[in-house]
Chains A and B, each alone.
Chain A
Amino acid sequence: AQRVTQPEKLLSVFKGAPVELKCNYSYSGSPELFWYVQYSRQRLQLLLRHISRESIKGFTADLNKGETSFHLKKPFAQEEDSAMYYCALTPQGGKLIFGQGTELSVKP
C-alpha cells in the first residue's frame, strides 16, 4: 500500500531551536518525495523535493530508503516558519499522496 505517515499533528518549538518534522512512507517502488507548506491564508506550495537535494529557507530533507523516511529539518526555527507542513509521495501519474500534515508553531 502507498502511504505517507506524519506522526505529529502539532509541533511547537521556540524561536532558534532545532526542528524536525517526521515523515515515513510506504511504497514498493522508487519514490518521489516532497514537502509542501501552507502558510496561514496562503495556498499550498512546494517547499522542497528529494531529487533536488537542495536547502530551501534553511530546511533540508534527506531520503533514507532503509528507514523509509524523509524527515524535514531546520537547525534554527524562525517565527515565520509557523505553518502546516505536508509530506507527499508521488507513485505514478503525478498524483500526490499526502501525509496527515504537521502544524509547526514557532514561539518567540
Chain B
Amino acid sequence: DTAVSQTPKYLVTQMGNDKSIKCEQNLGHDTMYWYKQDSKKFLKIMFSYNNKELIINETVPNRFSPKSPDKAHLNLHINSLELGDSAVYFCASSRTGSSSEAFFGQGTRLTVV
C-alpha cells in the first residue's frame, strides 16, 4: 500500500496553462505539505496544512493555490504556468509535532514548454 501518492507522475504542459497535482495519504496523518525541488535538487517548502487549515505559506506566487478537501488530501493547483515553474513537486505528510517523520510521495515532474 502506497502511503503518500501523487498524480500525475509526469506532467508536460505549455506556458499559460492551468494544471493540478493531486496528493493523497492513507497514514492518518493530520499535516500535509508541498515541497518544490528545483533543477539543482534544492528542496524548499511551499505550503503546509494541518487538519485542512493552511498553517505555512512560504513566499510562493499566488498562481499556486493549495486545496485540502479533507485531511487525507492536499492538491496543488497552478494557474498561468511559467517556464520557471518546471520542477519536481513533492507532497509529504506527518503527524503533528516537530520530531515526526515526514513521508514523501514519489514526486511529480512538471515540465513547462
Taking Cβ atoms with an 8 Å cutoff, the residues of A that contact B are 32, 34, 36, 42-46, 49, 51, 84, 86, 90-98, 100-101, 103
Contact = CB atoms under 8 A, between A and B. Distances in A.
B75 interface: no
Contacts, number: 63
A32 B98 contact: yes
A48 B44 CA distance: 20
Given A32-B98, A92-B98, A43 B104 contact: yes
Summarize B's interface: helix, strand, loop or mixed.
strand
Given A43-B4, A44-B92, A98-B44, 8 more contacts: A34-B101, A43-B104, A51-B99, A90-B98, A90-B99, A93-B98, A94-B33, A94-B50
B11 interface: no
Contacts of B105: 43
